[in-house]
């Protein structure tokens, strides 16, 4: 199969980026397996990143548990993991570059202020939806203290050219996608009121630093992609290709997550755990005595699956 890393201009480099908020569950193993298989099917490298920027939610021992679970399944990274907690200076430099380019501004609004803005206009969003930021502090803080730094999504008013309208992007499985970020999300936070770095900034800076050519992750993260593409453009870093994987669902159809009680993976039988994750990804039943043998058969099966995606989702 042809090398597919042309988007970011280098040999394939993929990654799995778990948050150490607890051990892996069936859903997170699916993302790990999908990203590993995609890297191997392209003859590429597979890297790990621990997304531990949201430090209050991180759990002591979770990182070691995750690495142990991955190793038990035969999923071993090609380099030592990158930890977002050690990347503060890189995120600060990116924020400074965006500030120098007129792309960020301080914001004094609380969640309550934002909800009140929309409520005054008879609008409210359901709790699970993102409430768009109405741009209250675009023109200055009006004497209020700064809490967070926001990215100016549409900076035409700041004299920046070529950034109006919806973001169009291609997903290797889902096909052509688009989102008008200004309308759906508004100017989004890069550094939070508590000083922590927002996921969007950390991911873009780290994908660039790790030379990631292909982002393969769960479909629940697809909505973040247009924001990340806008940040890539503003920072002048390459855009990786994207593949969003089907999710493992809980019995009620919701995405399986730590928040809705997903249990830590039972790894006395790693082949059974790999097979369960692989079935959700579309792999056939693979008979194998151990995880290494299972994975060796899964790689060519995955190559066939992604070849079918490429035919079906061509832009």
Residue 189 interacts with Zn ion (CB under 5 A): yes or no: no
Q: Is 112 an annotated catalytic residue?
A: no
Contacting residue, 70, 94, 107, 215, with Zn ion by CB under 5 A: 107
Residue 136 interacts with Zn ion (CB under 5 A): yes or no: yes
Contact map string, positions 61 to 100, toward Zn ion, x by CB under 5 A:
----------------------------------------
Catalytic residue among 258, 277, 283, 298: 258
Distance in Å, CB of 110 to Zn ion, minimum: 9
Residue 109 interacts with Zn ion (CB under 5 A): yes or no: yes
Distance in Å, CB of 235 to Zn ion, minimum: 22
Could you tell me which stretch among 116-124, 137-145, 230-238, 257-265 binds Zn ion (CB under 5 A)?
Answer: 137-145
β-strand partners of 25: 264
Residue 191 interacts with Zn ion (CB under 5 A): yes or no: no
Residue 137 interacts with Zn ion (CB under 5 A): yes or no: yes
Q: Give the binding site for Zn ion (CB under 5 A).
A: 107, 109, 136-137
What residues are labeled active site? 258
């Amino acid at each position: 199969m042809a090398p597919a890393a042309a988007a970011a201009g280098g040999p394939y480099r993929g990654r799995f980026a778990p948050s150490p908020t607890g051990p892996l569950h069936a859903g997170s193993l699916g993302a790990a397996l999908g990203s590993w298989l995609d890297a191997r099917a392209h003859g590429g490298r597979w890297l790990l990143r621990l997304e531990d920027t949201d430090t209050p939610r991180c759990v002591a021992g979770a990182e070691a548990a995750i690495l142990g679970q991955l190793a038990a399944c035969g999923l071993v990274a090609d380099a030592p993991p990158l930890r977002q907690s050690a990347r503060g200076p890189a995120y600060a430099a990116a924020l400074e570059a965006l500030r120098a380019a007129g792309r960020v501004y301080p914001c004094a609004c609380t969640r309550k202020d934002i909800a009140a803005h929309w409520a005054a206009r008879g609008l409210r969003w359901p709790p699970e939806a993102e409430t768009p930021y109405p741009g209250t502090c675009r023109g200055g803080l009006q004497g209020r203290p700064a809490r967070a730094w926001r990215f100016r999504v549409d900076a035409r008013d700041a004299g920046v050219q070529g950034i109006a309208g919806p973001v169009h992007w291609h997903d290797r499985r889902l096909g052509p996608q688009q989102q008008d970020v200004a309308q759906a999300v508004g100017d989004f936070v890069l550094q939070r009121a508590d000083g922590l770095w927002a996921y969007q900034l950390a991911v873009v800076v780290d994908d660039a630093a790790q030379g990631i050519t292909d982002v393969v992750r769960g479909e629940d993260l697809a909505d973040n992609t247009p924001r990340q593409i806008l940040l890539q453009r503003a920072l002048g870093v390459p855009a990786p290709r994207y593949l969003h994987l089907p999710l493992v669902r809980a019995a009620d159809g919701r995405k399986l997550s730590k928040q809705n009680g997903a249990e830590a993976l039972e790894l006395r039988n790693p082949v059974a755990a790999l097979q369960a994750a692989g079935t959700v990804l579309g792999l056939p039943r693979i008979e194998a005595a151990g995880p290494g043998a299972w994975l060796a058969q899964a790689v060519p099966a995955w190559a066939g699956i992604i070849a079918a995606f490429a035919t079906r989702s061509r832009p």
